[in-house]
């Protein structure tokens, strides 16, 4: 995606200092989603690296990942698999704990969500330390998925998440970097 379009996306992201706690610069994508052109460009940018590839499913992370991941799956013509916070999925699940920039949590996936060797892309709004995405990678591999990449709107570069994912063999595509 060209620099001009990426600038449009970056300009629509709102930064809220000291949320949810002091010292965190919260990158708020609600202002981007509220702009029809910005939202469309974002979905195009997330899909672009994979349009010529075979993608069987998008795995997206609750909650902001769902907004983007659903649209990406529709655009790529593949299925959508939710990774949810603990206790939200009704059927048998596998769980993975992870540490965030400002708390820790557990995500779950339905035990039968992924067909063996299905080609998966991971979608979320932002990668910081990479802890959440790494937990997603572990769950997807555990139930037999083949991860062909991960895409994020925002990379908080100094948090090192992208390198962490790439060091475990997952290529990342990001639209804007802070």
Binding footprint of ligand AMP on the chain (CB under 6 A): 24-27, 61, 64, 100-101, 124-133, 156, 161
Q: How far is the CB of 129 from ligand AMP (least distance, A)?
A: 3
Give the three-state DSSP class for 94: strand
Strands in 50-171 per DSSP E: 57-61, 79-85, 93-99, 104-110, 119-127, 146-155
Nearer to ligand AMP, 51 or 99 (CB): 99
Whether 64 is catalytic: yes
Task: Give φ, ψ of 129 to 5 degrees.
Answer: -80, -15
Dist CA 44 CA 51 (whole Å):
10
Catalytic position from the list 4, 27, 97, 101: 101
From the list 27, 62, 64, 84, the catalytic residue is 64
Token pair belonging to 117: 């060797």
Closest CA to 86 of 102, 62, 115: 62
| Shortest spacing between CB 34 and ligand AMP, in angstroms | 16
- Closest separation in Å from C-beta 45 to ligand AMP: 17
Strands (E), the chain: 14-17, 25-28, 57-61, 79-85, 93-99, 104-110, 119-127, 146-155, 172-177
Closer by beta carbon to ligand AMP, 89 or else 127: 127
Q: Which is nearer to ligand AMP, 26 or 80 (CB)?
A: 26
Is there a catalytic annotation at residue 166? Answer: no
Cβ 117 to ligand AMP, closest distance in Å?
Answer: 26
Q: In terms of CB distance, is 22 or 92 closer to ligand AMP?
A: 22
Q: Are the C-beta atoms of residues 111 and 143 closer than 8 Å to each other?
A: yes
Residues acting as catalytic residues: 64, 101
């Amino acid at each position: 995606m060209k620099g001009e379009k990426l600038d449009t996306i970056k300009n629509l992201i709102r930064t809220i200092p000291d949320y949810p706690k002091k010292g965190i610069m919260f990158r708020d994508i609600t202002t981007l989603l509220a702009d029809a052109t910005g939202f469309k460009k974002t979905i195009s940018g997330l899909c672009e690296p994979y349009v010529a590839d075979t993608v069987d499913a998008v795995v997206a992370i609750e909650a902001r990942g769902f907004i983007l991941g659903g649209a990406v799956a529709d655009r790529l013509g593949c299925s959508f698999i939710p990774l949810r916070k603990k206790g939200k999925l009704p059927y048998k699940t596998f769980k993975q704990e992870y540490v965030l920039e400002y708390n820790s949590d557990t995500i779950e996936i339905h035990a039968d969500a992924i067909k063996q060797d299905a080609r998966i892309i991971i979608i979320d709004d932002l990668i910081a330390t990479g802890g959440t995405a790494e937990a997603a990678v572990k769950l997807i591999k555990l139930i037999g998925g083949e991860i062909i990449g991960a895409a994020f709107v925002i990379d908080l570069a100094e948090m090192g998440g992208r390198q962490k994912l790439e060091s475990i063999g997952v290529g990342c595509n990001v639209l804007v970097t802070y």
